[in-house]
Amino acid sequence: MAGKRTAGDGTFTPKKRARQDHVDYIDVDEMSEDEAMVQSSLVPRAATINFSALTRKLAQERRAHGAADDTVSAHRRQQDSLVSNIFMDQDFSWLHLKPDHASRPLWIDPEDGHIILEAFSPIAEQAQDFLVAISEPVSRPSFIHEYKLTSYSLYAAVSVGLQTEDIIEVRQETSGLNRDAYGVRFKGVESLIEVPETIINFIRERTLSYGKVKLVLKHNKYFVESSHPETLQFLLKDKIIRDARVVSQPTESNKMTTFTTAKAPVKGNLVIAGTKEAEKKKDDAAKTKEPFATGGPNADVDLFTSVVGVDADEIDEDDENVHAFEIDDAKIDDVKKRCNELEYPMLEEYDFRNDTVNANLDIDLKPATVIRSYQETSLSKMFGNGRARSGIIVLPCGAGKTLVGITAACTIKKSCLVLCTSSVSVMQWKQQFMQWSNVTDRQIAVFTADQKEKFAGDSGIVVSTYSMVANTHNRSYESKKMMEFLTSREWGFILLDEVHVVPAAMFRRVVTTIKAHSKLGLTATLVREDDKIADLNYMIGPKLYEANWMDLAAKGHIANVQCAEVWCPMTPEFYREYLREQSRKRMLLYCMNPKKFQSCQFLIKYHEDRGDKIIVFSDNVFALEAYAKKLRKPYIHGGTGQVERMRILQFFQHSPDVNTIFLSKVGDTSIDLPEATCLIQISSHFGSRRQEAQRLGRILRAKRRNDEGFNAFFYSLVSKDTQEMFYSTKRQQFLIDQGYAFKVITHLDGLEKLPDLVYKTRDEQIELLSSVLLANESEADLGTDIRAGEGDLAGTVTSKDFGGPPGRRVPAAQRTTGSLTALSGAQHMSYVEQNKSANKKLAREAAPRHKLFAKRDRDVAAAKKDARKS
Ligand SMILES: Nc1ncnc2c1ncn2[C@@H]1O[C@H](COP(=O)(O)OP(=O)(O)OP(=O)(O)O)[C@@H](O)[C@H]1O
């Protein structure tokens, strides 16, 4: 049965299943806040793996066994007492494993293309490489991985050179070990699993049309190119594409240009800079006086075996006759989008070595620069067939995306435009280019609000921000001149940093105004809280590679991190105000909760004593200043001057007296502090999964990460029974899917005994509360901190981008029981009891009010009354 085709939606949906089927699957995005709060507390934080079809199948099997099978029943009874309470009707521990289960580490859902992999299987590593190439990793915790086959993932697979027959393989023979014959299996996974027919059809259908059409830039004009004339004819029947076509000689309206292109170079001829092979090749070239990286005809450098496993002989060489038609520059975006919808997504490849029109850029990595294996693998996806493919590379925070970008630029060796999100990042990119490559100051220019430089000579590198390039209003004279410089030329390569944050409209403007042969998007978190992620597919290209965070941590490239959510009970006074307050000030109340203050103080002390360097993050500037001043620590936010910032950061890096700093969201990205080993988050931006991951990224690069037994620490302080708990659960989801486990800490041992514990007395707490209540409501804002300079993207990101629905009604908080250490059996774990009425009662309760608030209450009540009247 063929899967239903849904143009452009990218998901495999043979049958939309009823939501109630997903009894075992909790999707936090779709839960109500009340549900989420309860759920977040009841279940240990686990990856949300979709086992629904498997569950159904097994449930049928269980019914088939029925009570007749005494052994099973007995076994079940025994299990009932142990695990059934947890797994309820999804307890399948009573089922017998097949004798050859070890060779069946994979399960494919025939209905929605989900693939479940036992990550502990000996063949898992090989299978993972293959699965990453053909499907989207959904969740990759330690033992069970979940992937999903989608249109986009297959598009990506085709774009890195995989054909239908590289993905599925028809096998006739029966395994000697096992009597089960299997007809069609995944080629990259040595297992006894037969691929279901629905999935085979889906793969065949999608891979048939993909890769047939290419978008090519030649002499500053864009062409839609294909060696299948019937495909171009099909596309030209579409109105949008037909209207975008440029007909230079209107004599024969539908005739296509046919020209001969050079054959695609075989992969053995290309060497990625920075690899060992590159070094060897350089030496050989020096000996034979051949230029580096051109390779001789017999050069046999087999760099590109890894995941794809495409051999040199298998690389498809272009047909002699390639047909093409020109399209209007301004309509590129529409054409790409339309082709996607018609299931003919366009591949963008750049045959840079045969480009004689654009000047070469004499740039190479410094001899001392050696790229890491995963960086090489990701680049091999880009340069796998000797050309530069456009697409996105996803690597964890701190895993070295900058060097991947620089290496790509050094491999293409043509003019390159780098776009980043802020002027701070611009300077960092320039510095990194100088650090890793032999680029000279004259070859690299910067285009920001303060600096508008051009490179000397015919080719070079320009580093700028998205908004400098996309902004069309109020340009200064120099900016206009600079834009002319950027738009009048052809770029070999455009590097797009942090692609996931750029608003789609801005991206569109960049992609349509700048003419570039190839594009590489870099990101750590290919998640967006809006639905724009799919746009990146046609605007940049498919995802070429996504690294596994846990793998990189295990190999010491990024630090191992212990994550914990610390539940801080609200003091009665704060909680009462929280329940009464309807405005944004609620947020201020849960950030300034005295118990959170104390927990923060305790954790800072504990980790400073261990020799850690700590960053405390707070999106809320009011809270940031209040905490930092009270705890006597330096702080940086949007309003901190550049000189002061640098001074504080340097002290943090080099002085043993400054071991803790407070940062607002200006520190979420672009701050490279390898000394930091502990993070404490006291306030964050709603449910932003991306922000959570980026903050974690600040400690993933910890210098000490390779020390024996080293762990970095990430704490999220959450005020109990407040909205914050819901957001916290949502924020963690991305990291959980990468394999991080969040422990819940309900009690910090020894907190009460801390000398100089802040806000210990009720009076002190009430004083703090009064300062919060007297604060302006705007102090609760999270979005106003970054004072973006001209050209910085930060100011363009709105709260909507973070999934924080400010207009949404805030649900009543849940009442939780106290610490239930004894009950749960696990120390410091807790569960929540849902009891809305208790909260309502609390809110209604005419509790004796402190005189400080009595007047305020009357004022608020009067204001509400006036508002109702008007
Ligand atoms: N091959 C390499 N050899 C040595 N050091 C490397 C290599 N690759 C990256 N690094 C170092 O790792 C650190 C992190 O690199 P980088 O800043 O590029 O990470 P990132 O992936 O861009 O992180 P983020 O997403 O947080 O910005 C840097 O200090 C960089 O110098």
Sequence ranges of the domains in the chain: 19-208, 212-262+318-344, 357-547, 561-809
Find where tokens 């422990």 sit.
743
pLDDT at residue 408 in the model: 95
pLDDT at residue 404 in the model: 95
Give residue 400 CA to ligand 1 midpoint distance, Å: 3
* CATH 3.40.50.800 matches 561-809: no
d(CA 514, CA 505): 14
Pocket test for ligand 1, best of 701, 734, 738 (most atoms within 8 A of CB): 701
Find where tokens 């307050």 sit.
581
Alpha helices (runs of H) in 610-716, residue ranges in sequence order: 621-631, 642-654, 689-700
Supply 287's token pair. 């000996």
The string over 749-763, giving b where at least 16 C-beta atoms fall within 10 Å of a residue's C-beta and e elsewhere, is: eebeeeeebbbeeee
pLDDT at residue 515 in the model: 86
For ligand 1, whether the C-beta of 523 sits within 6 Å is: no
Q: Which residues of the chain have pLDDT under 70?
A: 1-90, 170-185, 187-192, 248-320, 527-534, 583, 667-671, 687, 776-870
For ligand 1, whether the C-beta of 371 sits within 6 Å is: yes
Give residue 147 CA to ligand 1 midpoint distance, Å: 27
Supply 105's token pair. 């580490």
For ligand 1, whether the C-beta of 735 sits within 6 Å is: no
Degrees (nearest 5) of the Cα angle 810, 815, 779? Answer: 40
Supply 392's token pair. 């996105």
For ligand 1, whether the C-beta of 697 sits within 6 Å is: yes
pLDDT at residue 274 in the model: 55
pLDDT at residue 444 in the model: 94
d(CA 155, CA 149): 10
| Beta strands 561-568 and 712-719, pairing class | parallel
For ligand 1, whether the C-beta of 524 sits within 6 Å is: yes
Which amino acid belongs to residue 148? K
Pocket test for ligand 1, best of 272, 369, 403 (most atoms within 8 A of CB): 403
Atom of ligand 1 nearest to the CA of 524: 25
Give the CB-side neighbour count of residue 856, counting CA atoms within 13 A.
Answer: 15
Helix (H, G, I), strand (E, B) or coil at 171: coil
Kindly compute the dihedral angle of the four CA atoms of residues 727, 728, 733, 736, in this order, to the nearest 10 degrees.
180
Arch. (CATH architecture) of 357-547: 3-Layer(aba) Sandwich (3.40)
Give residue 402 CA to ligand 1 midpoint distance, Å: 6
Supply 562's token pair. 């212990």
CB 465 within 8 A of CB 426: yes
Give residue 550 CA to ligand 1 midpoint distance, Å: 17
Residue 636: its H or E element: strand 635-636
The overall pTM is greater than 0.95: no
Q: Whose CA is nearest to atom 12 of ligand 1?
A: 400
Say whether the ipTM exceeds 0.95.
Answer: yes
CB 467 within 8 A of CB 796: yes
Residues with Cβ within 8 Å of 719's Cβ and at least 6 positions away in sequence, in order, are 568, 569, 570, 590, 591, 593, 595, 596, 725
